[in-house]
Structure 1
Amino acid sequence: MEPTELELDDIQSGVLRPRPTPYAATYIGFRIDDRKTGRELMQRVSKVVTSAANPKGPLADVSVSVAVTCKGLEALGVPQESIESLSWEFREGMAARADGLGDFGESAPENWEQPLGSSDLHVVLVVVAPDDQQLEAALDRARETYHNMPGIKAIWRQNCRALETEKEQFGFRDGISHPAVEGSGIPGTNPQEVPFKAGEFVLGYSDEMRGVQSTVPDILGRNGTYVAFRKLQQRVADFRQYLKENSKSVEAEELLAAKMMGRWRSGAPLALCPFHDDPELGADPLRNNDFLFEAEDPAGLKTPSGSHMRRCNPRDAAIAGVARIHRMIRRGTTYGPALPEGVMVDDGIDRGIIFAFVGAFIGRQFEFIQSQWINDGIFIGADHDRDPLCGSHEIDFTIPQKPVRRRLKGIPRFVITRGGEYCFMPGLRALRWLSELDT
């Protein structure tokens, strides 16, 4: 059966289209104090939100997206029957589900940056542009949607960026892997990965298990998706110090970093160059994601099964379960200044990544990967080994090698959760439906 063509003109651009490189972005959080004004905001943003239909002209790489929390839907007066037709993880909210995500101790919700995870966060506006100048121009247009609206209050903002090098704070090239979605016309980055059914990422279409998610009424959910966004602080100095203390040379430090990630910092995958970095390969979008695991590396001698990249996307590797139903679209954007090269002591400046999950199933996509693949190792037969880069606590990591494997125990936590929330990103028609509620 031929895949259904997606209604791209009704799907927000931030759902399917990869971001430009380089780019600047900002996240703005709002509280709705007046229901009528909140609905007017939905009407206004529906006119500035960018659709996933192929844009043309000077604004092709500029996008505005909007997402609403469960508390936001309540503030808008959405009928309870409609809210209950949405995901129960979404209805509970990220803070309520923190323990299962590994968000305890320093990462616990009581330590989150306010108002993240609170009942005050109702709407999140995201603006992305190739540079600061175009971002400010897009922001000027977006501000017209909420300025002079006394019932709407901007309560949080986070500026972030992606450099031309595409590297995040630990120094790794980021944003390499992107799945292809049937009917979108947007290619994925791995030619060996079969395109996914649209329903894995967008409500209203058939998914990999032949199910179709719908809501009450249908217009609320159709062409929408769920977004989990998280502010993650990266302890760069601690990471550098750990590499140094557990390596005998600079070259060994880089190899250890690559084994933990699954790629060299250039983006070159260990699967294709296991013994040395290849920056030219790492920078080549036609080659740097063109590989599988099982055929050439079932034992993880090249790419450890417990490495961050292989955990989050096992591809064809033999694991407990079906990897395809846990695939997700991931966006990562750096915030804060980079720690200068060679500095091994924390300077007290907040830096990290704004992580955004995009998918139709919070539970079996984002939460499953976070709890079962990142914070456990049973699925790869590694007992309770955790992700060496972003595991939650008591992190152990195994590097397969001959004649004797290497075991790293008690790795400190390098990534701390500073806040986040589950949101729903409606289709453009749904935004207008929200604006026309009369209850």
Structure 2
Amino acid sequence: MASAAHPTSPAANTWVSVSLTYQGLRALGAPRDSLDSFAWEFQQGMAARAKALGDTGESSPEHWERPLGTGDVHVVLTALSPDPEQLEAALERARETFRDLPGIQALWRQDCHALSTGREPFGFRDGIGYPAVEGSGIPGGNSHEQPFKAGEFVLGYLDETGGYPPMPRPDVLGRNGTYVVFRKLHQRVAAFRQYLKENASSHDEEELLAAKMMGRWRSGAPLALCPFHDDPELGADRHRNNDFVFADDATGYKTPPASHIRRANPRDASVAGVVRLHRMIRRGTAYGPELPEGVLEDDGVERGLMFAFVGAHLGRQFEFVQSEWVNGGDFLGLGDVKDPIAGSHEGTGAYSIPRRPIPKRLRGLPRFVVTRGGEYCFMPGLRALRWLAELRT
């Protein structure tokens, strides 16, 4: 398997990472001084942060898949590979390290995969926007966005404020580490399709409505660059499909201010002075089978996304975006209006699409995305892993 220490490994496209929860660090015997130095959101855990995250009602922790959110999850292994054979080989090597150790038990597993469509379960091209990080040598997808300081995503380096993010003690534990958020998100694909059909008079209008809610056509083509019709070629072009700003669209005639992508990354909006403090590295991969095209009835099968956030600031990155931008609207002058797709609606949600002469108003938005569980984790650097391995409980 590849790692930061062996980037030229023959298995460079297969990765296994290890992250620990706060309870996991306690179980390993991390000193009290070290435990107290972690971000307080991490110390509390995701379940305790449910209200702030919008994990209420059906998404509340009492409905989560066990053992997620219970405190019983101590270590999270994440494996990524281009094919099942390499994946299983990598996982087996990981299993060998703990199979015969006392007090360690595998509690939960979630298999994920890329869908045959190359899209997420609602049908949109995913994984388009990502920030460039200074020193990484990897360019971002938006030429209008300057690379971010490494300290926004990795502890021990300068961040966008010009200082160093708070880091767990001692230095060997915190440096080169980062926080990771894992969330299992069930997607109600049939309900989403039904809502589009009920609020549109034709297939083309359904597609436009879906694009207005997301901020992109399903192909990935952004409304900011092609507001009137889809452009699959643009959507598939990773050099162009994220290269835009919203400066020429303050009212939102092209991309509605409350649309999902404009909330998740307002880019050059009036809040642009603080946008750079809330950018995240986000990744998602699907679980469960695809709902066949055209099916409008729920088949009762679990499907959705495993979501991952990586960053140095749990509070001002993941939690802020989730609470203030996804489940709030004050920052855009929208009051309590929530994200039309990912917001924690309860069947009474509303959404306004700017248009001339009269805006289109959607009502009765249901919850399309339900949280099935999650964990706040800390991903140590290689030196920190060695330090943790030498702890004596």
Structure 1 runs not aligned, ≥5 long: 1-47
Residue 430, structure 1, aligned to residue 390, structure 2: no
Structure-2 change in CA distance of 1:410 and 1:369 (3 Å): same
Counterpart CA distance in 1 for 2:9 and 2:249 is: 45
- Aligned residue for 1:156, secondary structure, equals coil
Q: Distance in 1 between matches of 2:296 and 2:274?
A: 41
Alignment match, 1:278: 231
Residue 412 of structure 1 corresponds to which residue in structure 2?
366
Q: Secondary structure at the match of 1:207?
A: coil
The AA in structure 1 aligned to 2:382 is L
**Is the 1:320–1:379 Cα contact (8 Å) retained in structure 2?**
no
Distance 1:221 1:165 in 2: 40
Query: Structure 1 pair 152/94, CA: closer, same or farther in 2 (3 Å)?
Result: same
Indicate the RMSD between aligned Cα atoms, in angstroms: 1.4
Structure-to-structure mapping, 1:150-299, within 5 angstroms: 150-163=102-115, 165-212=117-164, 213-294=166-247, 296-299=248-251
Render the CA deviation track for 1:284-339: whole Å, top value 9, x for unaligned: 11111111111x21211111110001100011112386111000000101000000
Three-state SS of the structure 2 residue aligned to 1:325 is: coil
Matched, 1:132 2:84: yes
Q: Does the 8 Å contact 1:387/1:395 carry over to 2?
A: no
Matched, 1:401 2:352: no
Cα distance in 2 between the residues matched to 1:149 and 1:233 = 34
Letter in 1 for 2:253: L
Counterparts of 1:383-402 in structure 2 under 5 Å? Answer: 383-393=335-345, 394-402=348-356
1:3 aligns with: none
In structure 1, C-alpha distance between the alignment counterparts of 2:5 and 2:250, rounded to whole Å: 40
Tell me how far 1:82 sits from its aligned partner: 0.3
CA-CA distance at 1:214 after TM superposition: 2.6
Structure 2 unaligned regions, length at least 5: none
Q: Do the aligned partners of 1:321 and 1:379 also contact (CA within 8 Å) in 2?
A: no
Task: Indicate the residue corresponding to 2:67 in structure 1.
Answer: 115
Check conservation: 2:79, 2:91, Cα contact below 8 A. yes
Between the aligned partners of 2:358 and 2:177, the Cα distance in structure 1 is 49
Cross-structure match for 1:376: 328
Secondary structure at the aligned position of 2:97 is classed as: coil
Structure 2 residue 278 is matched with structure 1 residue 310: no
* Residues 19, 76 of structure 2: 8 Å contact kept: yes
Q: TM-score, normalised by structure 2?
A: 0.96
Q: Distance in 2 between matches of 1:380 and 1:395?
A: 17
Structure-2 separation of matches of 1:300 and 1:53: 46
Aligned length: 390
Measure how far apart 1:56 and its partner are: 3.1
In structure 2, the partner of 1:60 is 12
**Cα deviation, residue 163, structure 1:** 3.5
CA distance in 2, matches of 1:190, 1:297: 17
Amino acid paired to 1:413: R
**What is the CA-CA distance between 1:210 and the residue it aligns to?**
1.4
Whole-angstrom distance in 2 between the partners of 1:327 and 1:176: 14
AA of the residue aligned to 1:256:
L
Which one-letter code corresponds to 1:61 in the other structure? N
Equivalent residue letter for 1:403? P
Tell me which residue corresponds to 1:344: 296
The answer as to whether partners of 1:166 and 1:175 remain within 8 angstroms in 2 is no
Tell whether 2:105 aligns with 1:105. Answer: no
Aligned partners of 2:208, 2:13: CA distance in 1, in Å?
36
How far apart, CA to CA, are the structure 2 residues paired with 1:185 and 1:143? 33
In 2, distance between residues paired with 1:166 and 1:324? 29
Indicate the residue corresponding to 2:100 in structure 1. 148
What is the SS of the residue equivalent to 2:109?
Answer: strand
Q: Once structures 1 and 2 are overlaid, which stretch shifts more, 185-194 or 76-85?
A: 185-194
Q: What is the TM-score with the length of structure 1 in the denominator?
A: 0.87
**SS at structure 1 position matched to 2:308:** strand
